Protein backbone atom coordinates (compact mmCIF):
# COMPACT_ATOMS: atom_id res chain seq x y z
CA UNK A 1 0.00 0.00 0.00
CA UNK A 2 1.37 3.42 -0.96
CA UNK A 3 1.72 6.17 1.59
CA UNK A 4 -0.83 8.79 0.55
CA UNK A 5 -0.53 11.04 3.60
CA UNK A 6 1.51 13.87 1.99
CA UNK A 7 -1.06 14.25 -0.83
CA UNK A 8 -3.88 16.76 -0.50
CA UNK A 9 -6.97 14.82 -1.56
CA UNK A 10 -10.01 16.97 -2.31
CA UNK A 11 -13.48 15.58 -3.03
CA UNK A 12 -15.84 17.38 -5.39
CA UNK A 13 -19.48 16.46 -4.93
CA UNK A 14 -21.77 17.60 -7.75
CA UNK A 15 -25.28 17.93 -6.29
CA UNK A 16 -26.71 20.71 -8.42
CA UNK A 17 -29.13 18.66 -10.50
CA UNK A 18 -32.83 19.43 -10.74
CA UNK A 19 -33.74 15.79 -10.15
CA UNK A 20 -36.63 15.86 -12.60
CA UNK A 21 -36.75 12.09 -13.04
CA UNK A 22 -37.84 11.67 -9.41
CA UNK A 23 -41.27 13.32 -9.98
CA UNK A 24 -41.06 15.02 -6.62
CA UNK A 25 -41.11 18.72 -5.61
CA UNK A 26 -37.76 18.32 -3.81
CA UNK A 27 -34.65 17.64 -5.95
CA UNK A 28 -33.69 13.98 -5.47
CA UNK A 29 -30.50 14.77 -3.53
CA UNK A 30 -32.58 16.17 -0.63
CA UNK A 31 -35.09 13.32 -0.37
CA UNK A 32 -34.85 11.39 2.88
CA UNK A 33 -33.27 7.94 2.90
CA UNK A 34 -33.59 6.25 6.28
CA UNK A 35 -34.34 9.63 7.88
CA UNK A 36 -31.42 11.59 6.39
CA UNK A 37 -31.25 13.49 3.08
CA UNK A 38 -29.47 11.43 0.40
CA UNK A 39 -26.75 14.06 -0.10
CA UNK A 40 -26.11 14.23 3.66
CA UNK A 41 -25.51 10.47 3.64
CA UNK A 42 -23.12 10.76 0.70
CA UNK A 43 -21.18 13.55 2.43
CA UNK A 44 -21.12 11.79 5.82
CA UNK A 45 -19.65 8.75 4.07
CA UNK A 46 -16.91 10.79 2.37
CA UNK A 47 -16.16 12.67 5.59
CA UNK A 48 -15.63 9.39 7.44
CA UNK A 49 -12.87 8.29 5.00
CA UNK A 50 -9.47 9.31 6.31
CA UNK A 51 -7.94 9.89 2.87
CA UNK A 52 -10.35 12.77 2.10
CA UNK A 53 -9.01 16.09 3.38
CA UNK A 54 -11.67 18.51 2.15
CA UNK A 55 -14.95 18.48 0.28
CA UNK A 56 -16.23 21.04 -2.25
CA UNK A 57 -19.99 20.74 -2.64
CA UNK A 58 -21.71 22.11 -5.75
CA UNK A 59 -25.42 22.93 -5.43
CA UNK A 60 -27.93 25.10 -7.25
CA UNK A 61 -27.57 28.81 -6.44
CA UNK A 62 -31.02 29.06 -4.88
CA UNK A 63 -30.29 26.05 -2.63
CA UNK A 64 -26.94 27.28 -1.32
CA UNK A 65 -28.18 28.78 1.94
CA UNK A 66 -30.56 25.90 2.61
CA UNK A 67 -27.76 23.46 2.00
CA UNK A 68 -25.27 25.24 4.25
CA UNK A 69 -27.80 25.30 7.09
CA UNK A 70 -29.79 22.09 6.70
CA UNK A 71 -27.11 19.78 5.33
CA UNK A 72 -23.60 21.01 6.16
CA UNK A 73 -24.25 22.54 9.60
CA UNK A 74 -27.01 20.21 10.68
CA UNK A 75 -25.03 17.03 9.98
CA UNK A 76 -21.70 18.36 11.26
CA UNK A 77 -19.98 18.12 7.89
CA UNK A 78 -16.74 19.76 8.96
CA UNK A 79 -14.79 18.59 5.91
CA UNK A 80 -17.09 20.56 3.60
CA UNK A 81 -14.94 23.66 3.19
CA UNK A 82 -16.96 25.35 0.44
CA UNK A 83 -20.49 25.16 -0.89
CA UNK A 84 -20.31 26.55 -4.38
CA UNK A 85 -22.81 27.28 -7.11
CA UNK A 86 -23.12 24.50 -9.67
CA UNK A 87 -23.84 25.02 -13.35
CA UNK A 88 -26.33 24.15 -16.05
CA UNK A 89 -24.84 20.68 -16.68
CA UNK A 90 -23.06 18.28 -14.36
CA UNK A 91 -19.82 19.03 -16.20
CA UNK A 92 -20.24 22.77 -15.42
CA UNK A 93 -20.80 21.99 -11.74
CA UNK A 94 -17.57 19.96 -11.52
CA UNK A 95 -15.68 22.61 -13.49
CA UNK A 96 -16.88 25.41 -11.17
CA UNK A 97 -15.62 23.44 -8.17
CA UNK A 98 -12.26 22.67 -9.81
CA UNK A 99 -11.65 26.38 -10.40
CA UNK A 100 -12.41 27.09 -6.72
CA UNK A 101 -9.79 24.72 -5.32
CA UNK A 102 -7.29 27.27 -4.10
CA UNK A 103 -3.68 26.22 -3.88
CA UNK A 104 -4.40 23.16 -6.00
CA UNK A 105 -4.57 19.58 -4.80
CA UNK A 106 -2.74 16.33 -5.31
CA UNK A 107 -5.75 14.29 -6.26
CA UNK A 108 -9.37 15.16 -6.88
CA UNK A 109 -12.13 12.64 -6.13
CA UNK A 110 -15.32 13.44 -8.05
CA UNK A 111 -18.30 11.67 -6.50
CA UNK A 112 -22.02 12.14 -7.30
CA UNK A 113 -24.10 13.58 -4.47
CA UNK A 114 -26.70 10.89 -5.07
CA UNK A 115 -24.44 7.85 -4.52
CA UNK A 116 -24.55 7.28 -0.75
CA UNK A 117 -23.23 3.69 -0.70
CA UNK A 118 -19.55 4.17 -1.51
CA UNK A 119 -17.27 2.03 0.64
CA UNK A 120 -13.80 2.94 1.86
CA UNK A 121 -12.24 -0.12 0.16
CA UNK A 122 -13.50 0.90 -3.28
CA UNK A 123 -12.49 4.53 -2.75
CA UNK A 124 -9.00 3.53 -1.59
CA UNK A 125 -8.47 1.30 -4.61
CA UNK A 126 -9.48 4.15 -6.94
CA UNK A 127 -7.23 6.64 -5.10
CA UNK A 128 -4.28 4.23 -5.13
CA UNK A 129 -4.67 3.57 -8.87
CA UNK A 130 -5.08 7.28 -9.63
CA UNK A 131 -1.88 7.97 -7.74
CA UNK A 132 -0.11 5.57 -10.11
CA UNK A 133 -1.91 6.27 -13.42
CA UNK A 134 -3.14 9.88 -12.80
CA UNK A 135 -6.71 8.83 -13.59
CA UNK A 136 -8.87 5.98 -12.26
CA UNK A 137 -12.61 5.41 -12.29
CA UNK A 138 -14.92 2.97 -10.57
CA UNK A 139 -17.16 0.76 -12.72
CA UNK A 140 -18.95 -2.59 -12.67
CA UNK A 141 -19.10 -5.20 -15.43
CA UNK A 142 -22.30 -5.09 -17.49
CA UNK A 143 -24.62 -8.05 -16.89
CA UNK A 144 -27.26 -7.29 -19.52
CA UNK A 145 -26.78 -7.99 -23.21
CA UNK A 146 -26.34 -4.67 -24.99
CA UNK A 147 -27.63 -4.05 -28.51
CA UNK A 148 -27.52 -1.05 -30.78
CA UNK A 149 -30.87 -0.10 -32.32
CA UNK A 150 -31.40 2.81 -34.68
CA UNK A 151 -34.34 5.18 -34.67
CA UNK A 152 -36.53 2.89 -36.76
CA UNK A 153 -36.41 0.44 -33.83
CA UNK A 154 -34.55 -2.48 -35.42
CA UNK A 155 -31.35 -3.98 -34.04
CA UNK A 156 -28.20 -2.98 -35.82
CA UNK A 157 -25.77 -5.07 -33.80
CA UNK A 158 -25.04 -6.78 -30.49
CA UNK A 159 -22.02 -5.46 -28.61
CA UNK A 160 -19.71 -8.10 -27.03
CA UNK A 161 -20.35 -7.89 -23.30
CA UNK A 162 -16.89 -8.89 -22.02
CA UNK A 163 -15.42 -5.44 -22.63
CA UNK A 164 -18.34 -3.39 -21.33
CA UNK A 165 -18.42 -1.58 -18.00
CA UNK A 166 -21.16 0.48 -16.37
CA UNK A 167 -19.37 3.54 -15.07
CA UNK A 168 -19.97 4.97 -11.63
CA UNK A 169 -18.25 7.49 -9.41
CA UNK A 170 -15.85 8.05 -7.68
CA UNK A 171 -13.59 9.13 -10.50
CA UNK A 172 -10.17 10.15 -9.23
CA UNK A 173 -7.65 12.33 -11.06
CA UNK A 174 -4.47 14.27 -10.65
CA UNK A 175 -5.72 17.81 -10.08
CA UNK A 176 -3.80 19.66 -12.81
CA UNK A 177 -4.68 17.00 -15.38
CA UNK A 178 -8.44 17.09 -14.85
CA UNK A 179 -8.48 20.89 -14.56
CA UNK A 180 -6.71 21.13 -17.91
CA UNK A 181 -9.10 18.58 -19.48
CA UNK A 182 -12.13 20.55 -18.24
CA UNK A 183 -10.72 23.85 -19.53
CA UNK A 184 -10.05 22.32 -22.95
CA UNK A 185 -13.53 20.75 -23.09
CA UNK A 186 -15.13 24.12 -22.30
CA UNK A 187 -13.08 25.83 -24.98
CA UNK A 188 -14.18 23.21 -27.54
CA UNK A 189 -17.81 23.06 -26.32
CA UNK A 190 -17.35 19.36 -25.66
CA UNK A 191 -19.95 17.98 -23.28
CA UNK A 192 -19.83 14.56 -21.60
CA UNK A 193 -21.75 12.79 -18.86
CA UNK A 194 -18.64 11.90 -16.86
CA UNK A 195 -15.23 13.42 -16.21
CA UNK A 196 -13.10 10.55 -17.53
CA UNK A 197 -14.49 11.20 -21.05
CA UNK A 198 -12.68 14.54 -21.03
CA UNK A 199 -9.34 12.76 -20.58
CA UNK A 200 -10.18 10.00 -23.07
CA UNK A 201 -10.63 12.61 -25.81
CA UNK A 202 -7.14 13.88 -25.04
CA UNK A 203 -5.79 10.34 -25.43
CA UNK A 204 -4.94 10.02 -21.73
CA UNK A 205 -5.27 6.48 -20.30
CA UNK A 206 -7.83 5.95 -17.54
CA UNK A 207 -7.59 2.93 -15.24
CA UNK A 208 -10.80 1.05 -14.42
CA UNK A 209 -11.29 -0.19 -10.85
CA UNK A 210 -14.03 -2.74 -10.20
CA UNK A 211 -16.59 -1.36 -7.75
CA UNK A 212 -19.78 -2.75 -6.28
CA UNK A 213 -23.33 -2.91 -7.58
CA UNK A 214 -24.58 -1.37 -4.31
CA UNK A 215 -22.96 1.95 -5.24
CA UNK A 216 -26.11 2.98 -7.11
CA UNK A 217 -26.99 6.44 -8.37
CA UNK A 218 -30.39 7.35 -6.95
CA UNK A 219 -32.19 8.86 -9.92
CA UNK A 220 -35.71 7.41 -10.17
CA UNK A 221 -38.41 6.44 -7.61
CA UNK A 222 -37.40 2.78 -8.21
CA UNK A 223 -33.80 3.59 -7.27
CA UNK A 224 -35.04 4.99 -3.96
CA UNK A 225 -36.83 1.71 -3.20
CA UNK A 226 -33.61 -0.14 -4.02
CA UNK A 227 -31.62 2.27 -1.82
CA UNK A 228 -33.93 1.62 1.13
CA UNK A 229 -33.39 -2.13 0.66
CA UNK A 230 -29.59 -1.67 0.50
CA UNK A 231 -29.72 0.42 3.67
CA UNK A 232 -31.71 -2.28 5.48
CA UNK A 233 -29.25 -4.94 4.35
CA UNK A 234 -25.99 -3.12 5.09
CA UNK A 235 -27.13 -0.72 7.80
CA UNK A 236 -25.72 2.73 8.49
Interface positions with ligand C5P (CB under 6 A): 14-17, 29, 58, 86-90, 93, 112-114, 193, 217, 219
CB 56 within 8 A of CB 29: no
Q: What's the closest the beta carbon of residue 149 comes to ligand C5P, in angstroms?
A: 23
In this structure, the dihedral spanned by the alpha carbons of residues 153, 155, 159 and 161, taken in order and rounded to 10 degrees, is 80
Q: What's the closest the beta carbon of residue 212 comes to ligand C5P, in angstroms?
A: 18
Non-local CB neighbours of 203 within 8 Å, separated by 6+ positions: none
Between 83 and 131, name the residue whose CB sits nearer to ligand C5P: 83
Q: What's the closest the beta carbon of residue 191 comes to ligand C5P, in angstroms?
A: 11
Q: What's the closest the beta carbon of residue 65 comes to ligand C5P, in angstroms?
A: 17
Between 114 and 181, name the residue whose CB sits nearer to ligand C5P: 114
CB 80 within 8 A of CB 44: no
Q: What's the closest the beta carbon of residue 160 comes to ligand C5P, in angstroms?
A: 26
Between 97 and 231, name the residue whose CB sits nearer to ligand C5P: 97
Between 86 and 128, name the residue whose CB sits nearer to ligand C5P: 86
Between 112 and 214, name the residue whose CB sits nearer to ligand C5P: 112
The Cα–Cα gap between 158 and 81 comes to 47
Between 53 and 223, name the residue whose CB sits nearer to ligand C5P: 223
The Cα–Cα gap between 148 and 25 comes to 35
Q: What's the closest the beta carbon of residue 155 comes to ligand C5P, in angstroms?
A: 27
Amino acid sequence: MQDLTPLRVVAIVPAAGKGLRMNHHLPKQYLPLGGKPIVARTLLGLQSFKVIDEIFLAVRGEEKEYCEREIVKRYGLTKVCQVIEGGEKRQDSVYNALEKIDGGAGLVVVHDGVRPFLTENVLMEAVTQANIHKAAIVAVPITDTIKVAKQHGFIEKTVPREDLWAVQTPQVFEYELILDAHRKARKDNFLATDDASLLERMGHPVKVVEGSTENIKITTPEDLIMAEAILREFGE
